[in-house]
Structure 1
């Protein structure tokens, strides 16, 4: 049976004197707030905050059945809680003491658009104390011309544009961006910027990371299994990889370089080679088991970019690393299905390969550092000489006595330093 909340106003649902301002279809106005029994509301299974949890649930062969609403709500409540237990507990304590202060937003069919955490806290409090509790929210009627695009725009505005932090897991946020801007093209970049109060450069970077996340999942034969990216905590490493790739392949965009319309097949091949080496490094260096050293994967990838990919030893490294990349890639591609446990199983199976990968990476980083250290004195001396050349002899001749005395002190220090260099070089 389909719920229509507006039909229940005056019976099970009571209107309050409170209002909440919302902007819908470009018009901002105050909407009345209703007190809605909890059993008439349900979570939104498209909620970006729990996107990776839902993808894991579905990948494990489960379904989400709204016809069994309490069971459906129970599953998603668990996901909402897991997404940020600390914040949820704080919200529950606050509502228990002071009541629900900020109204939510629901559709006429009971789907919650804003207020999932408050709704979850109320559900938990009702189970704990047995009292009749209500979810206070604005009711929006889709039959009044409110389309899915308007609903999503409102969600973005409420989540991002009201100067409060988005407490999504970063990967859940990337999944949301991928679905709305890349996969379903619900919004253009400019529209997303306008509705989230973000800078264009921030949105562009998020889109690149989101696309690269999808490329990584494809690389490990886990298409659509976003929860694996969350489990591997890939947000920071993906950001470093975007910067490395776009620095290495000037003018490219990680979102478009693999398209069939990209004319330079050699550049695509080079991109694949470098990208897959970085993806393999993620698998090799990321903590896969509780006993593994956590380390700092973002820093590790950044160092690979600085001392290998963007250094003179890149080709030598790639030649040595190609066999490792191929073995990791083929091992994943040979699996019928990939999930978090199988990623860890492959990690154990390829323990020796992972160690070899880290050994090769560390060796080439150290070699590059040594080369950098060797040429550093030359770079510094050249810089010092460039600075010296900026001092004009005529200016030296016209110095007043006080300045001349200061100049002579420094001049003698320079002479002593040059003598030390000469003795070190036996000249």
Structure 2
């Protein structure tokens, strides 16, 4: 890789413009000059949080630990597809804007050419150059100081500040945000939760909720034998049910019961027994948290968890093939889906019936309290018409009480 800082003054293809871009780096604001650079000097940032799920999918499908960068053009072609797939409509709009008005916002790159900010703009310029043979397109960008490529924490902080902490935040998918916070804090250990919250301009409590949600995402993917398959979570829009799972489990103080409830919620999220899975998980959580019926429901649902686990983990000779096929079999198993749905409906009906039984008692007690609150001395001060109206109302009450007394054999 070229060091652009070392060659920018001697290479005529790297042109210093009259523009600057202000960046907040290392605790201070700095003005960086903007350079116009040939596209073939640059390459995508494979750590870009917006495309984390797509890269993860590509690595899993091709059994790779990292992307091959020996051929930068081939590498860029692969990443470009991910950038486009992450938001085709945004690419279309940005491309039209650049074609009509040129690039308006400078990017940010490392000295080796890695793009930290501006992957979408770079993509549009690459496409325009291919579509217009003979016409040369260039990327306008800031070049960070030498050495930043070796400081993962500083680069991550800068990326978060630009892409998540700005007033107009870039459109990361909710799952990509979860992958990013988990990778930054738990896997790569680049940041603390406090640093992440501060840099992205969110409350610490919200950052902790996101991290918890991310941890449950990781746990769920392990539960279904698809570890780190974040693309599955993206396609199936698991961010909604995961957010509800965080709220449900936060109410559970007993650690063992919380873990058991988590497995029940995961099982229902996998089976997707009925309709909107976010709404369904919410109902399952409300039953688990019910004081009278929660334990019985948990016990019945754990039996289904065991059945799912056995089907997800068959004892056969080819575990890789069997796990994939067993996942497909379980996720489409109509009997398991039906059992989960009927269990949920049964306990919902029990709770509703109990509420209906309690309802007349609550209403009678409320009526009694209302009558006791009446000041008899105020009645004596009422006019004749008002007293007549009150007499009618009292007689109606007495008539209304009769069928209740008869039902009670009183």
When normalised by structure 1's length, the TM-score is 0.85
Out of 103, 107, 110, the position equivalent to 2:110 is 107
Instruction: Give the corresponding residue for 1:154.
Output: 158
Alignment of 1:289-308 (within 5 A): 295-308=275-288
SS of structure 1 residue aligned to 2:167: coil
Distance 2:388 2:375 in 1: 15
Distance 2:394 2:85 in 1: 63
* Cα deviation, residue 69, structure 1: 0.7
* Cα deviation, residue 144, structure 1: 6.9
* Cα deviation, residue 118, structure 1: 1.1
Contact 2:110 2:116 (C-alpha < 8 Å) held by counterparts: yes
* Cα deviation, residue 415, structure 1: 5.7
Distance 1:163 1:340 in 2: 43
Residue 50, structure 1, aligned to residue 51, structure 2:
yes
Instruction: Give the corresponding residue for 1:26.
Output: 27
Contact 2:225 2:323 (C-alpha < 8 Å) held by counterparts: no
Contact 1:228 1:340 (C-alpha < 8 Å) held by counterparts: no
Distance 2:371 2:193 in 1: 49
Out of 324, 328, 342, the position equivalent to 2:308 is 328
Contact 2:110 2:148 (C-alpha < 8 Å) held by counterparts: no
Out of 330, 355, 366, the position equivalent to 1:346 is 330
What stretches of structure 2 of length at least 5 have no aligned partner? none
Residues 1:35 and 1:278: Cα distance change in structure 2 (over 3 Å): same
Contact 1:222 1:337 (C-alpha < 8 Å) held by counterparts: no
Contact 1:277 1:321 (C-alpha < 8 Å) held by counterparts: yes
When normalised by structure 2's length, the TM-score is 0.88
Distance 1:193 1:330 in 2: 40
Alignment of 1:179-198 (within 5 A): 179-198=183-202
Distance 1:175 1:410 in 2: 66
Contact 1:220 1:333 (C-alpha < 8 Å) held by counterparts: no
Backbone CA RMSD of aligned residues: 2.7
SS of structure 1 residue aligned to 2:31: strand
Instruction: Give the corresponding residue for 1:272.
Output: 259
Residues 1:215 and 1:113: Cα distance change in structure 2 (over 3 Å): same
Query: 1:81-120 CA deviation, whole Å, 9 max, x = no partner?
Result: 1111112211111111211111111101111111111111
Distance 1:401 1:78 in 2: 83
SS of structure 2 residue aligned to 1:336: helix
Contact 1:248 1:310 (C-alpha < 8 Å) held by counterparts: no
What stretches of structure 1 of length at least 5 have no aligned partner? 250-266, 287-292
Instruction: Give the corresponding residue for 1:259.
Output: none
Residues 1:247 and 1:132: Cα distance change in structure 2 (over 3 Å): same
* Cα deviation, residue 138, structure 1: 0.6
Distance 2:57 2:6 in 1: 36
Query: 1:210-246 CA deviation, whole Å, 9 max, x = no partner?
Result: 1111111121122222222223211110111111111
Query: 1:150-179 CA deviation, whole Å, 9 max, x = no partner?
Result: 111111111122111341111111010111
Instruction: Give the corresponding residue for 1:68.
Output: 71
Distance 2:381 2:324 in 1: 73
SS of structure 2 residue aligned to 1:71: helix
Distance 1:308 1:4 in 2: 58
Out of 268, 272, 278, the position equivalent to 1:285 is 272
Distance 1:339 1:35 in 2: 51
Query: 1:137-156 CA deviation, whole Å, 9 max, x = no partner?
Result: 11112337972211111111
Out of 79, 84, 87, the position equivalent to 1:81 is 84
Aligned length: 398
Contact 2:224 2:270 (C-alpha < 8 Å) held by counterparts: no
Instruction: Give the corresponding residue for 2:295.
Output: 315
Instruction: Give the corresponding residue for 1:141.
Output: 145
Report the more deviating stretch, 376-385 or 96-105. Answer: 376-385
SS of structure 2 residue aligned to 1:23: strand
Instruction: Give the corresponding residue for 1:6.
Output: 5
Distance 2:282 2:121 in 1: 39
Distance 1:231 1:353 in 2: 22
Distance 2:346 2:301 in 1: 12
SS of structure 1 residue aligned to 2:251: helix
* Cα deviation, residue 79, structure 1: 0.9
Residues 1:410 and 1:101: Cα distance change in structure 2 (over 3 Å): farther
Residues 1:105 and 1:317: Cα distance change in structure 2 (over 3 Å): same
